[in-house]
Amino acid sequence: MISSEAAPFAKTGGLADVVGSLPSALRSFGDEVAVVIPRYGSIDLKNARRVWDNLPVHFGPVSYPVSIYQAPADYPVYLVDCPPLYDRKGFYGESGMDYPDNHIRFAVFCRAALGVARVLFRTDIFHCHDWQTGLVPAYLRTTFATDPTFLGCRTLFTIHNLGYQGLFPKTALAEVALDPAVYRPDGMEFFGRVSYLKAGIQFADALSTVSPTYAREIQTPEFGFGLDDCLRDRASVLNGILNGVDYAEWSPQTDPHIPAPYSAEDLGGKATCKRQLLEEFGLPAAGTDRPLLGMVSRFTRQKGTGILAEIAAQMVAEDVYLVALGEGDPEYEDFFLRMQQEHPGRIAARIGFDNGLAHRIEAGADIFLMPSHYEPCGLNQIYSLHYGTVPVVRATGGLDDTIEEGTGFKFAEYSGEALLAAVRAAVHAFADRESWQRMMRRGMSKDFSWKMSAAAYSALYRRLLAR
C-alpha cells in the first residue's frame, strides 16, 4: 500500500485510519501487506531501522537523495526519507497554502515506493491511495512498462476524496520525468493542467472508493469534480467498498483516552465522560441535562460548515451545547472561533489536531454532527455509533450507507433549514430518555469492523491477479 498517511505515523484524516488498520485485517485472508509512506519531520526515527541507504530518484539531470527506514509495526512500514522534501512542518503545506513543489514531493515518493518494491518487498499488487500516489500507475504504464521487475504487477487506485486532485501546470511533467504523451484527455490532462488523481483513475487496473453510494455519486456531475465522465468510462472496474474501523482503537470499553469506560450493557460511564467534556471545554455543568452536540473534523467547506453557520443561533436557542474540534482552512477555523465568541457558554471550539480529545468528544457528546456537503465514507459517524453518540448526518456518500433510521438522524437537502430540522428531531428524541437509550444501543450493536470490507479488498486483489 502506498499512501501519504498511515496511522499512527502520520494522520490528518480518515485516509490514515484506513491505511493504518486495513493491512492487519488483510492478514486473515492470507494477504501480506507492506505500507510505504513519506518520512515527514514529525515522524520520530528513534525506533526505526535504516533498511536501505541509497535509493536515489533521478528526474533527468536532477537527483533526489532517498533512503528507506522501517518503522516498528506488525507488518513492514517503510518510510521514504528525503529530508529536503518531507522534513517540513506540514504534510502538504503550511498556513492553508500548499507547498509549491508538491508535484515533485509526491512524484519522488511514488518512484521511491516503486524502488521499495524493487529492492525490499516483492509486490504483486500496488494498492495506491489518493492523488499523492496517482503517479505509481502512470510510471508503471510508461517509464517501467517493459521493466521485468514489474511484469504481471497490478494496480488498484482507491479514491478517498475526489475533491483533492493534485493539479499542477503542464510543465510539471518534465520536472518529474513523465512521458509527455500522458498529456491527453484520456491520460493526465485536466482542463489545461495535469492531475495526479486523474493519472490514478486512468492508468490503474482497477479503481475503488470508500463507500457504495460515493462510488455512484462520483459518476455524476454534482459530485464528480469534472472527473465524472472519465469515472463513468471506467465504471466497469470501479468498486465501492465501505471503510471498516478498528474497534481496538475506538471502543468505549477499552479507550485509554476517556475518563470512564462504558458499554451498551452499562452506560453509566458515559455521564462521567459528558461531565468532564463540558468541563474540559469550559462549558457550564448545567449542560449535563441538555443535549451536548459534538464535532470532530477537518474544518473545510466539505464538512458542512456553511450550513452550520446559517443556523448556529437557532440551534443554540434549542437549549443545546456544542463542542467542536478541528483544523483546516483559516476561513472555517475563524468561523468556529467566532461562533464561540457569539455564543459563549454554549459553543466551544478547539483549533488543532488532538487525538485524545477526539476520543473524549466521541464519548462525552450525546449527538454527533456531520452535516457534510459530501462525504466519501466518513469514520466519525461510525465511531459515534459505537460510543452511543447518536449521529445527525446529511444523507450523502458513506454517511447514507452507515446511518439508518433507528441509529441516527439523516437529512437530504444541503441547507441550513434541513440541518436544523434534523437537529431539532434529535433534540426532541433526546427528551425521551428510554427510547433515546434504545437508539444508542442499536447504534452500539452495529458492526463496521474490517471483516467484510477486508474480504472485499482481498477478493478484488485476487480477481486482479487472475486477469
Write out the residues near ligand ADP by the rule CB under 6 A: 13-15, 17, 296-298, 325-327, 353-355, 358, 377-380
Nearest-angstrom CA–CA distance, 190 and 380: 32
Cell of 88: 517540513
Question: Considering beta carbons, is residue 15 or 110 the nearer one to ligand ADP?
Answer: 15
* Smallest distance from ligand ADP to CB 369, Å: 12
Cβ neighbour number for residue 21 with a 10 Å cutoff: 23
Q: In 3-state terms, what secondary structure has residue 297?
A: strand
Helices 14-27/450-466 angle, 10° precision: 70
Question: Least CB distance from residue 244 to ligand ADP, whole Å?
Answer: 12
Please say which residue, 132 or 142, places its beta carbon nearer to ligand ADP.
132
**CB-closest chain residue to ligand ADP:** 14
Contact residues for 246 (Cβ-Cβ < 8 A; gap 6+): 17, 20, 21, 449, 450
Task: Report CA-CA distances (Å) from 125 to 117, 242, 335.
Answer: 10, 20, 43
Q: How far is the CB of 233 from ligand ADP (least distance, A)?
A: 26
Shortest Cβ 152–ligand ADP spacing (Å): 33
Beta bridge pairs of residue 128 = 2, 157
In this structure, are residues 131 and 165 in contact, taking their beta carbons and an 8 Å threshold? Answer: yes
Least spacing, CB of residue 353 vs ligand ADP, in Å = 4
Q: Quick one: 138 or 393, whose CB is closer to ligand ADP? A: 393
DSSP 261: -
Residue 205 or 362: the one with the smaller Cβ distance to ligand ADP is: 362
- Please report how close the Cβ of residue 54 comes to ligand ADP at its closest, in angstroms: 35
Closest contact distance (angstroms) between CB of 329 and ligand ADP is 13
What are the contacts of 60-63 at 24+ separation with CB within 8 A?
Answer: 60/174, 60/177, 62/175
Residue 171 makes CB contacts below 8 A (sequence gap 6+) with none
End-to-end CA separation in angstroms for the chain: 20
Closer CB to ligand ADP, 139 or 157, in the complex: 157
| Residues 121, 143 contacting (CB under 8 angstroms) | no
Measured from the CB of residue 117, what is the shortest distance to ligand ADP in angstroms? Answer: 26
| Look-up of cell digits 509549491 | 100
DSSP, res 135: H
Q: Which is nearer to ligand ADP, 158 or 380 (CB)?
A: 380
Judged by CB, which is closer to ligand ADP: 298, or 442? 298
Task: Quote the least distance from Cβ 354 to ligand ADP, whole Å.
Answer: 5
- Between 121 and 353, whose beta carbon lies closer to ligand ADP? 353
Q: Would you say 141 or 303 has its CB closer to ligand ADP?
A: 303
Between 64 and 250, CB nearer to ligand ADP? 250
CA 56, 128, 459, 446 torsion-angle sign: positive
Separation between Cα atoms, residue 255 and residue 246, nearest integer Å: 12
The residue among 162 and 464 lying less far from ligand ADP, judged by its C-beta, is 162
Greatest CA separation for the chain: 70
- Cα angle 157, 217, 388 (rounded to 5 degrees) comes to 90
> Any idea which residue has 472519465 for its cell?
230
**H/E element holding 457?**
helix 450-466
Quote the least distance from Cβ 296 to ligand ADP, whole Å: 5
Residue 94: exposure state from Cβ atoms within 10 A (0-12, 13-18, ≥19) = exposed
Least CB distance to ligand ADP at residue 106 (A) = 18
